[in-house]
A = this chain, B = another copy of it.
Amino acid sequence: MGGCAALSWFWGDPEWARRSLLTSSALTSFFAAGLLFLTRGDINLSRRDGFGIVTFGWLFAAVFGALPYILSGVIPDPVSAIFETMSGFTTTGASVLPDGNFQTLESIPRGIMFWRALTHWFGGMGVLVLCVAILPFLGVGGMQIYRAEMPGPSKDRLTPRITTTAKLLWGVYALLTLAEILLLKFVGGMCWFDAVCHTFATMATGGFSTRTASVGAFDSGVIDCIIMFFMFAAGVNFSLHYYALTGKPGRYWKDPEFRAYFIFWLITGLILTFNIWGSVYSRFLDALRAAFFQGTSILTTTGFITADFDLWPQPSRILLVLMMFVGGCAGSTGGGIKVVRIFIMWKKVIKELRQFMRPRAVLRVKLGGKAVDDDAVSHIVAFFTIFVLVFVLASFLMTFYTPDLETAATSVVATLGNIGPGLSAVGATQNFAAIPAPGQSLLILCMLLGRLELYTVLIVFLPGFWKK
């Protein structure tokens, strides 16, 4: 936040914006130092402590990260400000802006907007460590199948191994970030501010834009293509990028999840294209561009917008909602249920039916030729079940705060899957400002639940969690 204040001065923002950033950063540093002081020396963490730290860490970040919005008056309401920050750190990209005194995003001081983009980028870093280095070892939702896949030393003790893995992943993340910034600036022709902010939002699959019309504001085929490429990359397991950068690009196509992701991306993109060609766009190339940009944006759970897909034909609208459930690959910054889980679940269903026909046959669920541990399959199916139950329960509760069922259901999947925009009243050209505080609080919880892969947050609610 301190850095944002300096930049804010550089960009000539009004003084109140700068002061709010400075005050926030002072307050946050003070509390963080206090926390560090209180917990010093206490490094023997149990499994349970781990969940607590991750959950409360994200909550802490969302509360303190909201200070610049509140103090500057850009989002005076605390719940909405926390909503915006949680949306940033969980890389959801659902926004309550523009609203109130700021009817366009362009009218908000750049320092605040930069902080907004930065919450995405930091969130993305946290997600990478969480999803590649931590969750597989805790076995969250069947992710133990990725234990052997991550880069870094495999024989070390947990803590140094996590540190090494995190550094390698962050290196890849930083490299891709740099590449996109330079491409957007020099090939796409954006200014530095737009290039950096959009890159942060792309690499984190976040979706916050600096423009009210999102990426559509630039109306440039070149920019669409650059952002689409990096959205696609951000939805891929970062371990694969690491191996590619160290000279093993063949690992991409060898990975069954990547193949499923690519094929699903291609097929859904084509379905969208042919559904909107003729009905929305008369030129095939326009339909192709809009369909693949929007498809990539939704499948990777980024949430950038170049076309108002809320006005597309019904089949396209529901296909986009289904893609929200699927999400990116495991070990990416993308949200949703994750491609590998859907893929394994599909194989489990086929296996179940075959088994049913031949009760005595011994059948296994296989991924890339290798049998998947039964336990992992069972956890994956349980994860899916929990995801659906949370979705259903939250959608029911949201009907109290939204005008129609479509808004209720898609506002939940858009936050639970960390996508951003939904349909109807939270559709492509709308935002979440109109949802009352209790509804926003529920969606804040959904964003956290989705980002921390459900289990991490849910067990905090189990009565047994708080017992010694």
* Pairwise interchain contact B382-A349, C-beta atoms closer than 8 A: yes
A: number of interface residues (CB 8 Å)? 53
Number of copies: 2
How many Å lie between the Cα of A402 and that of B379 in the bound state? 36
A405 at the interface (CB under 8 A from B): yes
Closest to A140 in B: B356
Q: Which residues of B contact A403 (CB under 8 A)?
A: 314
* Pairwise interchain contact B408-A353, C-beta atoms closer than 8 A: no
Of A95-103, A118-126, A293-301, A386-394, which binds chain B?
A386-394
A245 at the interface (CB under 8 A from B): no
Q: Which residues of B contact A402 (CB under 8 A)?
A: 314
- Cross-interface CB contact of A357 among B314, B400, B462, cutoff 8 Å: B462
Closest beta carbon of chain B to A297's beta carbon, Å: 19
Closest to A349 in B: B386
* Pairwise interchain contact A381-B392, C-beta atoms closer than 8 A: no
* Pairwise interchain contact A405-B314, C-beta atoms closer than 8 A: yes
Per-position 1/0 for A80-118, Cβ under 8 A of B: 000000000000000000000000000000000000000
- Cross-interface CB contact of A408 among B318, B354, B384, cutoff 8 Å: B318
Q: Which residues of B contact A348 (CB under 8 A)?
A: 382, 385
A47 at the interface (CB under 8 A from B): yes
A202 at the interface (CB under 8 A from B): no
Q: Which residues of B contact A386 (CB under 8 A)?
A: 349, 352
| A315-B400, A396-B315 known; A345+B139 contact, CB < 8 A | no
Q: Which residues of B contact A406 (CB under 8 A)?
A: 405-406
| A348-B385, A352-B386 known; A359+B318 contact, CB < 8 A | no
- Cross-interface CB contact of A359 among B139, B345, B462, B465, cutoff 8 Å: B139
Closest to A386 in B: B349
Within 8 A of B (CB), among A304-349: 313-315, 317-319, 321-322, 345-346, 348-349
| Residue of A319, A345, A403 contacting most chain B CB atoms (<10 Å) | A345
Q: Which residues of B contact A164 (CB under 8 A)?
A: none
Q: Which residues of B contact A368 (CB under 8 A)?
A: none
Closest beta carbon of chain B to A419's beta carbon, Å: 17
How many Å lie between the Cα of A43 and that of B382 in the bound state? 41
| Residues of A participating in the B interface, judged by any CB pair closer than 8 Å | 47-48, 51, 138-140, 313-315, 317-319, 321-322, 345-346, 348-350, 352-354, 356-357, 359, 378-379, 381-382, 384-386, 388-389, 392, 395-396, 399-400, 402-406, 408-409, 423, 455, 458-459, 462, 464-465
25 examples of A-B residue contacts, CB within 8 angstroms: A47-B357, A313-B399, A314-B404, A314-B408, A315-B396, A315-B399, A318-B395, A318-B396, A318-B408, A318-B409, A319-B396, A345-B385, A346-B389, A348-B382, A348-B385, A350-B462, A352-B379, A352-B382, A353-B459, A354-B464, A356-B459, A357-B465, A381-B381, A381-B385, A384-B385
